[in-house]
Amino acid sequence: MKVRKAVIPAAGFGTRFLPATKSQPKEMLPIVDTPVIQYVIKECVDSGITDILLVIGKSKRAIEEHFDRNFELEHELEAKNKTELLAEIRDISNMANIHFIWQKELNGLGDAVKYGRTFVGDEPFALLLGDTLLGTNDELGRPITRQLIEICERFESSVVALESVPPDKVERYGIAGGDEIEPGILRLNQLVEKPKREDAPSNLAIAGRYVFTPEIFTYLEDAQPGKNNEIQLTDSMAKMLTDRGMHGLRFDGKRYDIGNKLDFLKTNIEFALKRDDVGPGLTKFIKEIAADL
Which one, 124 or 174, has the nearer CB to ligand G1P? 174
Q: How many helices (H) and strands (E) does the chain have?
A: 11, 13
What's the closest the beta carbon of residue 163 comes to ligand G1P, in angstroms? 9
277 by DSSP, 3-state: which? coil
Which one, 158 or 234, has the nearer CB to ligand G1P? 234
What's the closest the beta carbon of residue 220 comes to ligand G1P, in angstroms? 13
Which one, 12 or 35, has the nearer CB to ligand G1P? 12
Which residues of this protein are in contact with ligand G1P, per CB under 6 A? Answer: 109, 129, 132, 173-174, 193, 205-206, 208, 232-234
What's the closest the beta carbon of residue 187 comes to ligand G1P, in angstroms? 19
Which one, 8 or 77, has the nearer CB to ligand G1P? 8
SS (H, E, C) 33-67: CEEHHHHHHHHHHHCCCCEEEEEECCCCHHHHHHC
CA 196 and chain centroid, separation: 24
Q: Please state, in angstroms and as integers, the Cα–Cα distance from residue 174 to each residue in 37, 67, 249, 288, following that order.
A: 22, 31, 14, 40
Alpha carbons 31 and 29: distance in angstroms, whole number = 7
What's the closest the beta carbon of residue 160 comes to ligand G1P, in angstroms? 9
Alpha carbons 196 and 200: distance in angstroms, whole number = 6
What's the closest the beta carbon of residue 265 comes to ligand G1P, in angstroms? 18
Which one, 209 or 272, has the nearer CB to ligand G1P? 209
